[in-house]
Amino acid sequence: MKPLCGLVVAGACLAAGSALAAGVGDTYPAGSISTREQAQKALEATKVADQEAEAAYRDEMKRCVTVFLQNQCTEEARRTLGAKKREIRRVEIEAREVKRRLDADDRARKREEAGANRQPERAPAPVPDAAARSVEQADKDKAAAANREQYQQRQKAHAEEQAQRQASEAAQAEQRAANVKAFEEKQREAADYAKKKEDERIANEKRREDRRIERERAQKEREEQANR
């Protein structure tokens, strides 16, 4: 009954851990963060969810030691932690990107306001003739086209930078998960090796004891034959 109970409790623990990350993901689905306040609350929520996920993982690894299917239990715990980490990281990346974009917009607006305040007052310019207006409009159109091109280039560069950052962060998260798995594998191998050596020691002691008993039996038989 104990192994069965362990598996039932395992399912409950893993389901509760998955609910933590699912709660953050459900609260902040992709594209739902648009204000600075939402971004700040999302970052605070991911921090709490990450701490709870780590605590749940540690508790689950301790519990796995006591169940019958230990390897299956620890593997499921690692998969659950990885899924929670990825969902938490997605929300965190989106919240930080929203804050960064809003900060950049604020800085640009302040620069524009400062530039407007620095412009000196000018006397009304004379009304240009038709040819001058045509040239002026052409210059404005050219400048507008150049500005649109620059804006599109900045947007493209920003999108590429964001994609590279997300890929790098995802790779780092995968590497951390791989390191955790490797460490746990070494611990399991060490435990298996220790158990193997202990089994060998017990077997050697049993063989020595069997040989001792056999020698005593043979000695006793020789003594009995000598006394006949």
Identify whether the C-beta of residue 28 lies closer than 8 Å to the C-beta of residue 95. yes
CA-nearest of 17, 34, 137 to 87 is 17
Residue environment code for 34-59, b if the CB has 16+ CB neighbours within 10 A, otherwise e? eeeebbeebbebbeebbebbeebbee
pLDDT tens digits, residue range 212-227? 999 999 998 888 888 8
What is the predicted pLDDT for the residue at 148?
86
What is the predicted pLDDT for the residue at 36?
92
What is the predicted pLDDT for the residue at 5?
36
What is the predicted pLDDT for the residue at 127?
58
What is the predicted pLDDT for the residue at 15?
42
Long-range contacts of 114-120 (CB under 8 A, 24+ apart): none
Structure pTM? 0.42
Extract the residue ranges of the chain whose pLDDT is less than 70.
Answer: 1-22, 119-128
Extents of the domains making up the chain:
1-111+158-171, 183-228
What is the predicted pLDDT for the residue at 113?
86
Identify whether the C-beta of residue 128 lies closer than 8 Å to the C-beta of residue 140. no
Handedness of CA 150, 153, 159, 160 (dihedral sign): negative
